[in-house]
Amino acid sequence: MNQTAWLLISTTLLLLTLPGVALFYGGMVRKKNVLNTMALPLLALVLASVEWPVLSEVLPIGLGVWTGNPAQEGQSPVLMHHSIACALALALVAGALVERMRIAFFLIFGLLWVAFVYSTVVQWLWDGGWLTNLGALDFAGGAVIHISAGVTALALAVLVGPRQGYGRTEMMPNHLPLSFCGASFICVGWFGFSAGMGRAPITVATGAVVAIQVAAAAAAMAWTAAEWLQRDKPTMLGSVSGAIAGLVAISPAAGYVGPLSAMVIGSGAGVLCYMVVNFVKPILGYDDSLDVFGMHGVGGTWGMIATGLFASTAVNPEGSDGLFYGYPYQFAAQLAAVLGVWIFVGTATVLLFKGLESVLSPRVDEESEIVGLDLTQHGERAYQ
C-alpha cells in the first residue's frame, strides 16, 4: 500500500475522533447542556476545515513534514488530515468550559487561537521550526495537540471561573453509555490519527498501531486499579478515561517505541492522569469541566518526556527530519519542547483571552446557566 492510500484511510479514521469527542463529552454533562456540548466539536471541525486551508495558503504551515512537493499540497489528503487534527485540538479546549461558555466567544476565540497559538506550535514541531531543529520528537501531537489544548484549557478554566454551584452541587453525568460509545470512536480514530502521521514507512506505522493498542490497554488497567484501590469499586467511566489517557501519552512516542515501552508509557499515564483528576484538581479548585488538562495536558506532557526516555533507533532509525539522538540528549530536547510549548501556549492564551474579554463576555448570564445552554444557546433540548 502506498503512502497516499494509507493517508486517505488514516484521515478517514481520524475523522471519527470528532464525533467520538462529541459523544464522550455529551454523556458526561448534565441533561440541560447535552446538545450544546456535542455541538462544540462539530463547530470546531467546521471552523478548522475552513480556516486551516486559508492559513496554509497565507503561511505554508503544517505541511512541510508531509511532502516535498508544495505544488501538490493543496490537492493532497495532507491538508484534510491537518485540518481534522486542528479541529480535534480546538474541540478538546471546549471541554474545559462546557456548561457556561457562549458559542460566539468560543468561535471567535477558536479562530484566533488556531491562527496565532496552535499554528505556531505546529511550525515549531512539525514544519522544520526551532524545536524540530533542536531534535525534539512529536510523532502525532503530544505537544502540538494535547499539551496545547490542555494548557489552554487550564488557563481558560481559571480565567472564566467555575460553574455555578461547582463544589457544592452534584453534577452527575447524564448518560454514561453515550460516553462509552464516544470513547470507542476515539480509540478507533486514534489508529488513523497516530499511525497516519508523518512520512513514516508502513512498517513504522504498523509498529505505531501496536504501541497505541498496548498503551491504551495498560493505561486503562492502571487507572482502573488505582480507582479500585481508592474507592473499592472500578467505574466504567474510569476505565475508558484511562484508555484515553494512554492514547494521549503514546501519541508523541508511537512511531519510536516498542510494545514494552508503550506499556510503561501507558501505565504511567493511567496513574498520573488519575492522580491529577482526582487529587490535584480538587486541591487547587479550578473547574476544568471535563478534565481536559488532567487528561490531555498531563498525558501529553508525560508522553513527550517519556519519548525522550524510550525512543529507540531499533524501532525507527529516523526521527521526523533525520536521525534522532538517543538518551540523554533526546530527553533534554523533549524537556525543552515541553517547557517551550507550556510557556508559549499559557502566555498567549492569557493575552488572547484578556484582549477578547474586553469586547465580548466569555460566559452566559446566570439565568441562562441555570436554565441550561441547550435552550438558551440553541432553542432546543435533548430530553423532554
Task: For residue 204, give the CATH number of its domain.
Answer: 1.10.3430.10
Domain range spanning residue 79? 3-378
111 lies in some domain: yes
Q: What is the pLDDT of residue 373?
A: 93
For residue 198, the model assigns a pLDDT of 55
What was the pLDDT predicted at 207? 86
Residue 383 falls inside a structural domain: no
Q: How far apart are CA 139 and CA 198, in angstroms?
A: 7
Q: How far apart are CA 145 and CA 138, in angstroms?
A: 10
Nearest alpha-carbon partner for 297 in 107, 96, 70: 96
Q: Where are the alpha helices (DSSP H) in the chain?
A: 3-15, 17-26, 34-58, 77-94, 103-113, 119-126, 130-134, 148-160, 176-195, 202-231, 236-250, 259-275, 281-284, 292, 298-310, 329-357, 366-371, 373
CA dihedral 156, 112, 146, 301 (to 10 degrees): -70
State how many domains the chain has: 1
Residue type, 127: D
198 falls within a domain: yes
Instruction: Let me know if residue 374 belongs to a domain.
Output: yes
Residues of 64-94 as b/e, b for ≥16 C-beta within 10 angstroms? bbbbeeeeebeebbbbbbbbbbbbbbbbbbb
| Cross-strand bridge partners of residue 101 | 363
Pick out the chain residues at pLDDT < 70: 1-3, 59-77, 195-200, 318-325, 384
What predicted TM-score, i.e. pTM, was given to this entire model?
Answer: 0.92
In a domain, 384, yes or no: no
Which residues, 6+ apart, have CB-to-CB distance to 103 below 8 Å?
36, 39, 40, 43, 377
Q: Are 79 and 63 in contact (CB under 8 A)?
A: yes
In a domain, 107, yes or no: yes
Residue 95 has what DSSP assignment? T
DSSP state of 319: B
Q: What is the predicted pLDDT for the residue at 276?
A: 96
Q: Is residue 347 a part of any domain in this protein?
A: yes
Q: What is the pLDDT of residue 60?
A: 57
The answer to whether residue 41 is domain-embedded is yes
